[in-house]
Amino acid sequence: MRSFDAIVVGAGQAGPFLAARMVEKGMKVALVERKFLGGTCVNAGCMPTKTLVASARAAHVARRGGEYGVKIPGEIGIDMAVVRQRAQTVIMNARNGLIGWFDGMDGITVIYGQARFEDAKTITVKGERLTAPRIFLNVGARPTIPDMPGIADIDYLTSTSIIDLDSLPRHLVVIGGSYIGLEFAQMYRRFGAEVTVVERGPKLASREDADISDAIADILRSEGIAIHTDADGIAFTKAGGGIKVTIGQSLPDVEASHVLIATGRVANTDDLGLDVAGVVTDKRGYITVDDKLSTNVEGIWALGDCNGHGAFTHTSYNDFEIVAANLLDGEDRKLSDRIPAYALYIDPPLGRVGMTEKQARASGRKIMISTRPMSGVGRANERGETKGFMKVIADAQTQQILGAAILGIEGDEAIHGFIGAMHSGSPYPVLKWAVPIHPTVSELIPTLLGDLKAV
């Protein structure tokens, strides 16, 4: 048996940085990873998908060149092999960077293989026993595959496997109208595929307010993407060289060449032997943690996607920051201090922070709301990208900003003006009197706040 001061299971966006901090403090650390360093973000998520989004946007802008007075002779072609290779290069550069980082770090032992608890202080990896007084789980999540008729009979894609495509689908049917599915839908439409989105619920991006969801659907439809919601009977049948997708009794069947299943993710906790260690999970398989990310078992923490508190790279990294601050720096950081923020990387993107209007109304507060179309933003007009709108919600009594959304050009960057104000606790009049740079998207934030009205 090998003994360590700490064992980190999983090398996503929390584990490696926590391991490095502990090594800096003179600890002996084992980092266990069953596949690739970097986790979902590096290998199958943010980095490769946003590289693909960039290729798709380049094609989209090239097709619009004439609107800007740019003449491009001939048709805009897509070389999917090159598109794929760009994504693979980004993956390997990031992964190899982590490998090199750890190779040069004394005090850390990287072990590849599946970890499984033997008891609350001991894990096994490929038959070898490792023990430590502190164990940190950063095991992430994977695409979930729903139980739908005929799904076992077809070759479907997931958000992981679709990254390896080096040829263009004739007709891609995306099952699932949430964030991952919508990004791939627009991406492949811009590459030149016919695309259909099928969503079981009544609207796309169901977490968002209805006005945001409707605007997202309008953006996608404007690019020729077919959208079917309230799909109550999804089923699959092999049909010649393709796949027949049955959507529901009142909706027509769709003939697909490829099917992407994008119906959510499930935590990678089912094969860790958590029951042996006594670690509690919820009914969805997410590890239950307290406000400092400790599990119910002393000496075991859960960070990142596997704890169900934000399936994003930035929330995973913040989990690392919380644990490191509390254990290594003598601070008192809490999960509940975090203000939720995220983005949807369709084009134009959606930047979101805090409460939706629906959540704010349900809280019982007296609220104020302001909206402004992106067509009223100078930067959007200058760039010829005026789709979407801005929205902010504030507490009428405390003057605190409760939430905001920017669906529009550079919305994923401009939203940080609201994130900073909310994190600092600044009342909205403080931000209203800021003097932002012209011409930017952010310059409309004071104007937007100035139009807040009680509802």
358 vs 239 pLDDT, higher one: 358
pLDDT of residue 254: 96
User: pLDDT of 263-279, one tens digit each?
Assistant: 999 999 999 999 999 99
Helices H / strands E in the chain, number of each: 14, 24
pLDDT of residue 251: 83
- Asked, colleague to colleague, whether 2-143+266-337 and 342-454 share their fold, the answer is no
Question: pLDDT category, 240, cuts 50, 70, 90?
Answer: confident
Average pLDDT, the chain: 96
User: pLDDT of 301-323, one tens digit each?
Assistant: 999 999 999 889 999 999 999 99
Q: Judge whether 419 and 339 are in contact, CB under 8 Å.
A: yes
pLDDT of residue 123: 98
CATH class of 342-454: alpha beta
User: pLDDT of 72-112, one tens digit each?
Assistant: 999 999 999 999 999 999 999 999 999 999 998 999 999 99
pLDDT of residue 241: 87
For residues 408 and 406, what is the distance between their CA atoms, to the nearest angstrom? 6
Question: pLDDT category, 250, cuts 50, 70, 90?
Answer: confident
| Range 376-393 average pLDDT | 97
List 256's β-bridge partners, or say none: 243
Where in the sequence numbering do the catalytic residues fall? 438
In which residue are the tokens 């003097």 written?
A: 435
pLDDT of residue 248: 84
| Range 56-80 average pLDDT | 96
Q: Each residue of 346-357: b (16+ CB within 10 Å) or e?
A: bbbbbbbbbbbb
pLDDT of residue 326: 98
Does the N-terminal peptide bond of residue 439 adopt cis geometry, omega within 30 degrees of 0?
Answer: yes
3-state SS assignment for residue 367 = strand
For residue 68, with 0-12 CB atoms within 10 Å meaning exposed, 13-18 middle and 19 or more buried, which class applies? exposed
Q: Which residues contact 345 (CB under 8 A, 6 or more apart)?
A: 49, 50, 53, 183, 412
Angle of the 179-191 helix axis to the 210-222 helix axis, nearest 10 = 20
Q: Which residues contact 96 (CB under 8 A, 6 or more apart)?
A: none
> Alpha helices of 296-383 — where are they, by DSSP H?
313-328, 357-362, 378-383
Confidence check: pLDDT of 350 > 90: yes
CATH fold label, 151-263: FAD/NAD(P)-binding domain (3.50.50)
For residues 96 and 298, what is the distance between their CA atoms, to the nearest angstrom? 34
CATH fold label, 2-143+266-337: FAD/NAD(P)-binding domain (3.50.50)
Confidence check: pLDDT of 424 > 90: yes
Q: Judge whether 13 and 317 are in contact, CB under 8 Å.
A: yes
Confidence check: pLDDT of 232 > 90: no
The domain spans of the chain are 2-143+266-337, 151-263, 342-454
| Range 176-196 average pLDDT | 98
Phi, psi (5° rounding) for residue 138?
-135, 55
